[in-house]
Amino acid sequence: MNVDEATKMARRHEATYNEDFEHYSDVYADDAVIYRPVQGATHDKATMAAVERRATAACPDRKTRVIRVFAAEGDWMGME
């Protein structure tokens, strides 16, 4: 994956989160590792989805915005 491909994936992430949250976890592979500075790493899609469902339940009008994709290599990417 290069940065352009990762940027397309990041935009899909943003759109799905904001417009179709019910299917948000479908964006991720079952064994995805997601790192967030505050929460640390989640090591699978199910855990990541549970964290996001709790956060969205607490703040149902919350949205996400991809600022930039700053790295991509192989099957990983970094975005903020």
Q: What value, to the nearest 5°, has the Cα angle with vertex 65 and ends 78 and 43?
A: 45
Residue matched to tokens 């703040």: 59
Find out whether 7 and 13 touch, Cβ atoms under 8 Å: no
Distance in angstroms (rounded) separating the CA atoms of residues 28 and 10: 11
Beta strand extents in 1-80 (DSSP E only): 34-36, 40-42, 69-73, 76-79
pLDDT of residue 67: 95
Is 7's pLDDT higher than 80? yes
Residue 72 has pLDDT above 90, yes or no: yes
Tens-place pLDDT, residues 13-71: 999 999 998 898 898 888 888 888 877 888 888 888 888 888 889 888 989 999 999 99
Q: Are 9 and 77 in contact (CB under 8 A)?
A: yes
